[in-house]
Structure 1
């Protein structure tokens, strides 16, 4: 029974460190910004419809 208390403490510490690591990694790699849209050249459109090549 002498190993039970340190074993439980180690398991709790590992679970807490694991949860913190998952939270930090997730926060670091998340994409929380919107990309800028390329609206194109307004002079190259016909009636605001961009032509994508010859048909």
Structure 2
């Protein structure tokens, strides 16, 4: 919920103060890591489903 002062409270993400986001390469690296992880998990789930359907 956003209060009168504009503060975000009760959100599921961490909000950093202005100017403390980290370098661009680090933020892009995390984005690539999350993407690669999600692709890996999706591949594992698809392989498990394929194995169950063959049995």
Q: Provide TM-score, normalisation by structure 2.
A: 0.52
Q: How does 1:1-55 map to 2 (within 5 A)?
A: 1-30=23-52, 31=55
Q: Which has the higher contact order (CA 8 A, sep 6+)?
A: 2
Say which structure is richer in strand. 1
Q: Provide TM-score, normalisation by structure 1.
A: 0.52
Q: Give the ranges of 4+ consecutive aligned residues of structure 1 lying more than 4 Å apart after TM superposition.
A: none
Instruction: Indicate the structure (1 or 2) with the bigger Cα radius of gyration.
Output: 1
